[in-house]
Structure 1
Amino acid sequence: MTAVDEIRTARAALSWLFEPGEPTVVAAVRQYGPVEALDRLTATTPSEGLLRVEVRHLPGNARELAARGVHEGLASCRVVIPEDIEWPTGLAALTGEHGLDPVCLWARGSADLPVQGTSVTIIGARAVTTYGQYVAEDLAVGVVGHDRLVVSTGDVGVGAAALRAACAAGGSPVAVLSCGLQHLYPAANVRLLQRVADTGLLLSAWPPDAHPARHRSRSGRALLAALTGGTVIVEAGVRSTAIDVVRHAVRFGRPGMVVPGPVTSAMSAGCHMLLRDDSRMRVVCTVEDVLAELSHRPDDTDGTGDTGESDASRGEPDANGKPCAAR
């Protein structure tokens, strides 16, 4: 087993045992590297509060349970780690964020992971109107037509419309799920998500057996914003969770783009609220508007010190699994 293989195995085991961004785990990985961190965290039985809810009541040794769970997960998924060249550099924005900083990502599909300079998140309301569906589909087709990558959630509504249109246009979209890739959610979109897995990529910060949960959805929204070069919100009521994604994007130094809608539509009230309350939000109506905003960064980085390109100069980790980049 190479040093990278050992690190990948350790990170996958940590992901299987603990929630992404668990402060104790993040601190241990940063101080000791993932291999030694796993040794230390499993030297004694981890406290129940630290473990993922799916793991807390399983009988047996935590290390052995993790090894078995990872082995089963790898039958259908692959694990991407910060030491890989394909690790999305935009995720540096999540470093130190409580509950958000993943030790690895689980992927299903053959497409590449998003690169900031060539990807955009398209999100919006679940209860999408005819107008919102048309705009989401039109933007997704345009993004694919300009050789860019569409990223969205697996939810019904705007997310499903964007993914479906990207697939139909011959793209390789990425669906970011807030649950394990063995539990495709929601059930109404299972066929669509399977199609995305065939033509693009399913991506999650949680191991394959993780069930959908509200706290995971909150973390998943930040992941959506960090992965790409910018976020477009097509339609949203004032209480829509999609608003969180575009706000995260702006906080991470990425363009936050808002599609306006009819002033008579409650489903666009959240979009109008964003434009009214935050001067950093930009109005977009066409794919050309989106591409123009993606090319205009606040500075020549993404707000995290990264250029948006894959980092091929991470170097080889040492035999103890010390990370080459601080994570």
Structure 2
Amino acid sequence: MARGGRDEQGRPRYDVAARRLSEILADNQVAAGVFEWERRRPARRAPATARRFDLTMPLVPGWIPAGSLDNVPPDDRAAARAAALTPDDVPALGDDPNDNTWFRRYHAAGAEFAAHADVARLWVLNEDGRFDAASYNRNAPFDAYAPFRFDELMPAGEAPPTWTRRPRPLLPLSDAAARLFAGGVRVEMSFDGGAAWFVLTRGYVVLADRAGIRLTVDNPLEITPPHRTPAQQNLWYALIEQTFRLRVTAAVESDVRPALRAVPARVPRVTARPFVPWPAVEFGVGDRIDGLRGRDVRWSVGDGADGRAAVVRGAAYEFGPRRFGTELTLCSALPPFDLDA
């Protein structure tokens, strides 16, 4: 057999480009043979989407406890409330409101807001345990940070008893009401420890990297119960009084996936297998041909003027004493056949 590859100088040991096919076959002591190639993809498996569940879940603060907001003793709560600024209080600060510590830290226009942007605004599910108890525990009911237990919300047999600890961004609800809420997620607040709940319809975004939301109002005291003014009750005051709660209703992707199902590859309908009496290496997979010049042979797919050239799907090269040439495999190029299927 002729030795392939290259020598120490990088030159081909056997240069096929400079030889005829008959010479290559003779040098390799091949008297007859058949080489076949064909365009057909193997059967593939359809991707299976993880099962989703619509759940109502309580969120917890996603900020390190702030001294003026969290863990405030009862005797100090009146002073903590007085230090916060309602929207009506801000204009009274004059030309430089950043002289006020609360404004500087917790108002969106404050000079130090970037360092305190999560306070009262970031709310998370903590599904992966990223928010640890040592750093984030505070007054009840936010005094037991741990990875969220999805299994406690699931009916028996609906999902596996354990869920992988990983971020699970909130997904739009599956029902038609989802379009009424930002990101398809329903957000509810309570200012009295969960006795009454109110839907938040604006001023928040759904986090893209984990289960949670971020409030986007300039001043957290803007968020109030219905028919109450910020001076009467608001998010900040309720956090100081330890009566604020927040929950979301959204779809969550589980770890339950249906079994993968095999999808058979689409095989085009073969329309012809013409034989060409030479090694027809000029035809490649996907080429459209309508005949052979010099042999008065033509073909098409369709009828009359609507006919189209056939597509080369494969070939068998034969060389030997009985037959020498190429048998082409042609197929229809008409829909629904797609060569890449």
Common fold: TM-score over 0.5: no
TM-score w.r.t. the length of structure 1 is 0.21
The structure with more strand, counted as a fraction of residues = 2
TM-score w.r.t. the length of structure 2 is 0.21
The structure with more helix, counted as a fraction of residues = 1
